[in-house]
């Protein structure tokens, strides 16, 4: 398996190589074109200077003309070599070859604009008449001077490019190494976590201020979320088995008692009543479990239901208990309150809240209010019961949470009612809030802002 580092390094080196190659070759091409143009320009300037001097003075001394060492100049007057910058023999040889070439013109010899290559010189000539005298000015440059200079430039550029390439490769390697390092440390952490099988461990924070830091933070948040969920599941199964065990133990005890066989008719009757009541408790607990797991999985459909009708159905179901405890019921319920809530689940929510109010209120009033206020439908259940201490308020919606065992143990329940209520409300986009004072009472209020009536 190739590492990310080597992949990055190979693509980086290739890119650097291509960029440097293109840059240097285009640089050399433009430089040599420019250098050639400059050299021929210099020849043309010298040529026109000689021409002007001849016209003005009718004579010339090449010693007074500024001529570069590598430039060849010969002046022929009326077919006779007058002056030259090279030896007379060499000059004559060059000129005769030039004249021959000019007369037997071949396209291949015509390398540069108006220039011909003779004896390693690139030469051009101009003929002028000054006071009946015919002058021919030959001007040229030693070809290797041009090439030599360009060769030097190629060598210089190649060395420069190689040095630059090595520097960039080293820099790139260091940079890629530094950039990739957090990934290595993340991989090591993850593999240690896998080996330790420890959900509580976290990745070491990366303060790189880039995607690696974001990855570590997000991964740690996800781990925390998984850890919480796993703990919740563990807690739930331990609480659930505990809740199931209590009625089962009671039933078991009653059966053992019956099996001893020395019970009177009345005692047998009482045993059966206890067994029946405990098996009902078991049924309720299992029903709550099933409902919670259904709520965890199911996406609830946004049906419509009449809130006022559901409230009255719940009251009817609980009326006997209200009367039994002699509680006063106060109602402020608007009519035809159509809301987006499944009727079945709305019934469960209101029933759980009202049952709690009845359960935790010894005397006084239970008030139910359901209204539309500025397009905002809300309903509340308020009681004058035992209330909930401030420290418990944030926890009463947790699964199996019951306030103060001593005071709640006397009441039936396993602490799942409000968890179910909250889960249902959230599923239908309603919020539930509680306001409570110990020994004064509690108010549970449910609303869905932005609900259109
Ligand atoms: P439980 O089965 O114990 O009633 P719930 O989830 O319905 O479980 O409620 C959680 C806890 O919140 C209860 O044990 C009780 O201590 C407290 N509680 C709920 N409703 C009321 C209320 N109306 N008045 C006082 N305490 C309440």
Burial class (CB within 10 angstroms; exposed 0-12, middle 13-18, buried 19+) of 248: middle
**Whether the CB of 446 sits within 6 Å of ligand 1:** no
Residue 428: count of CB within 10 angstroms of its CB: 19
Which residue, by CA, sits nearest to atom 3 of ligand 1?
Answer: 415
Chain-centroid distance of CA 419 in Å reads 35
Residues near 397 by Cβ (< 8 Å), separated by ≥ 6? Answer: 418, 419, 421, 422, 432
CA of 326 to the centre of ligand 1 (A): 20
Tell me the CA–centroid distance for residue 348 and ligand 1, in Å.
15
Confidence of residue 453 (pLDDT cuts 50, 70, 90): very low
Look over the chain and give the mean of its residue pLDDT values, rounded to a whole number.
88
- 84 forms beta bridges with 74
How far CA 148 is from CA of 30, 45, 144, 343, in Å, comes to 17, 23, 6, 97
Predicted confidence (pLDDT) per residue in 367-394, tens digit: 999 998 777 888 999 999 999 999 999 9
pLDDT, mean of residues 10-32: 92
Paired tokens of 110: 């015509």
Determine if ligand 1 sits within 6 Å of the CB of residue 441: no
| Inter-residue contact 247 to 284 (CB < 8 Å) | no
Mean pLDDT for 212-234 is 90
Question: How many residues are recorded in the chain?
Answer: 453
Backbone angles phi and psi of 262, in degrees to 5: -105, 35
Q: What is the pLDDT of residues 250-297, one digit of tens each?
A: 999 999 989 988 888 899 999 999 999 999 989 988 998 888 888 877
Q: Residue 396: CB within 6 Å of ligand 1? A: yes
Q: Determine which residue's CA is closest to atom 25 belonging to ligand 1.
A: 387
Q: Which of the 8 DSSP states describes residue 356?
A: H
Q: Report whether residue 442 contacts ligand 1, using a CB cutoff of 6 Å.
A: yes
Which residue has 């959900």 as its token pair? 199
Q: Which of 117-121, 247-251, 285-289 has the highest mean pLDDT?
A: 247-251
Q: How many CB atoms lie within 10 A of CB 384?
A: 19
pTM value is 0.59
- The token pair that represents 271 in the structure block: 């045993």
């Amino acid at each position: 398996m190739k590492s990310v580092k080597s992949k990055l390094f190979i693509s980086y080196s290739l890119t650097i190589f291509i960029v440097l190659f293109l840059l240097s070759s285009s640089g050399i091409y433009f430089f040599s074109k420019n250098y050639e143009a400059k050299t021929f320009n210099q020849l043309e300037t010298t040529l026109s200077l000689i021409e002007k001097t001849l016209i003005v003075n009718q004579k010339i001394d090449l010693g007074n003309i500024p001529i570069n060492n590598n430039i060849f100049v010969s002046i022929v007057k009326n077919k006779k070599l007058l002056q030259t910058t090279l030896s007379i023999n060499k000059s004559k040889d060059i000129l005769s070859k030039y004249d021959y070439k000019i007369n037997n013109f071949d396209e291949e010899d015509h390398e540069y604009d108006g220039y011909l290559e003779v004896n390693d010189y690139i030469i051009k000539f101009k003929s002028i008449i000054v006071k009946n005298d015919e002058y021919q000015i030959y001007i040229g440059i030693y070809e290797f001077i041009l090439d030599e200079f360009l060769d030097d430039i190629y060598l210089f550029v190649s060395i420069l490019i190689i040095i630059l390439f090595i520097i960039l490769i080293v820099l790139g390697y260091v940079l890629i190494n530094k950039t990739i390092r957090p990934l290595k440390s993340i991989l090591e952490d993850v593999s240690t976590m896998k080996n330790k099988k420890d959900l509580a461990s976290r990745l070491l924070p990366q303060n790189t201020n880039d995607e690696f830091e974001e990855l570590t933070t997000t991964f740690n948040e996800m781990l925390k979320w998984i850890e919480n969920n796993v703990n919740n599941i563990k807690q739930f199964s331990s609480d659930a088995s505990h809740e199931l065990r209590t009625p089962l133990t009671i039933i078991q005890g009653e059966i053992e008692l019956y099996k001893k066989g020395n019970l009177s008719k009345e005692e047998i009757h009482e045993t059966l009543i206890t067994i029946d009541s405990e098996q009902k408790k078991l049924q309720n607990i299992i029903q709550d479990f099933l409902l919670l797991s259904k709520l965890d999985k199911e996406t609830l459909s946004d049906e419509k239901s009449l809130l006022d009708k559901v409230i009255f159905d719940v009251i009817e179901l609980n009326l006997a208990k209200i009367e039994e405890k002699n509680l006063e019921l106060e109602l402020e319920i608007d009519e035809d309150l159509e809301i987006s809530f499944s009727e079945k689940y709305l019934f469960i929510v209101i029933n759980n809240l009202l049952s709690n109010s009845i359960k935790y209120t010894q005397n006084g009033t239970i008030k139910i209010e359901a209204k539309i206020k500025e397009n905002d439908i809300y309903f509340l259940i308020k009681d004058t019961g035992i209330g909930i201490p401030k420290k418990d308020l944030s926890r009463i919606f947790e699964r199996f949470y019951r306030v103060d065992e001593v005071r709640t143990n006397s009441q039936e329940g396993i602490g799942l009612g409000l968890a179910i209520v909250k889960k249902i409300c959230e599923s239908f986009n309603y919020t539930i809030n509680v306001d409570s004072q110990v020994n004064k009472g509690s108010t549970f209020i449910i609303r869905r802002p932005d609900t259109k009536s």
